[in-house]
Structure 1
Amino acid sequence: MSISEAESVVMEVLWRAAPRTAEDILAEVGPQQGWQEGTVKSLLNRLLKKKAVRAEKDGRRYLYSPRLTRGQYVSQESKGLLDRLFEGRVAPLVAHFSEQHKLSRKDVADLKKLLEELDDEQS
């Protein structure tokens, strides 16, 4: 399932708190995104078709909840990035960030700790 950048903004709202109405979503992200009610409803309809969200009738309105978890989305997106740009390998991704000076000292320390933990698990 491919989720656009605009759709991911709606999903982030739903991951923080659900169920939510289209009006709730509009109130939360509409002003900074420059979106009107029609835009939010269009995005919700696209997400419904993709089965990323579900809708439950509540009187004259619908309550939307995510079907796709944030963890599933992050896994999907990160795998897609690795596959498209780095032949599915993590090491070239980390090398790219280190070459571009995008890794802080804390990032490097965290990576070292993670590698030690992975090494311990495999021993």
Structure 2
Amino acid sequence: MERLTPAEEKVMLRLWKLEKSTVKEIVDLYPNPKPAYNTVSTIVRILERKKFIKHKPMGRGYIYLPKISRDQYRDYLADYILKDYFDGSRNEIVSFYNSTASLSEIL
């Protein structure tokens, strides 16, 4: 698995929310100003090439479905942050969030 760009993550978050979707339905979930349909369509194709999503034909278009769950990607990101930013130390990451009060706000 590889890390997604911010734009790719935004599309995936919407697709995970919908569970299956057309490009138009993904675009509709964005706040105004919405990205262009073609922009989202391009990102969807990139995500498909990266094997994060798959498609099924529907009429003249496609329905897109996630191949990677939100939990799988979240676990990957958590491991990435732990390894690359906290040298694999769970104590260090907890200490960091405790010192910034972020963790106590979450709990």
TM-score by length of 1: 0.78
Measured in 1, the distance between the counterparts of 2:37 and 2:31 equals 8
Higher relative contact order (CA 8 A, sep 6+): 2
TM-score by length of 2: 0.89
1:33-112 maps to which residues of 2 (within 5 A)?
34-104=34-104, 107=107
Residue pair 1:19, 1:65 contacting (<8 A) in 2 also: yes
Measured in 1, the distance between the counterparts of 2:86 and 2:106 equals 24
The Cα offsets for residues 31-90 of structure 1, whole Å up to 9 and x where unpaired, read as 25x411111011101100100000111121110000000111001000000011111111
1:105–1:77 CA distance, 2 compared to 1 (3 A): closer
Residue pair 1:14, 1:20 contacting (<8 A) in 2 also: yes
Residue 21 (structure 2) pairs with residue 20 (structure 1): yes
Residue pair 1:30, 1:36 contacting (<8 A) in 2 also: no
Structure 2: which 5+ runs fail to align? Answer: none
Structure 1 segments (4+ residues) deviating >3 Å: none
What is the SS of the residue equivalent to 1:29? Answer: coil
Structure 1: which 5+ runs fail to align? Answer: 108-123
1:38–1:105 CA distance, 2 compared to 1 (3 A): closer
For the aligned residue pairs, the C-alpha RMSD in angstroms reads 1.7
What is the SS of the residue equivalent to 2:101? Answer: coil
Deviates further, 43-52 or 8-17: 8-17
Max radius of gyration: which structure? 1
Return the letter of the residue paired with 1:95: S
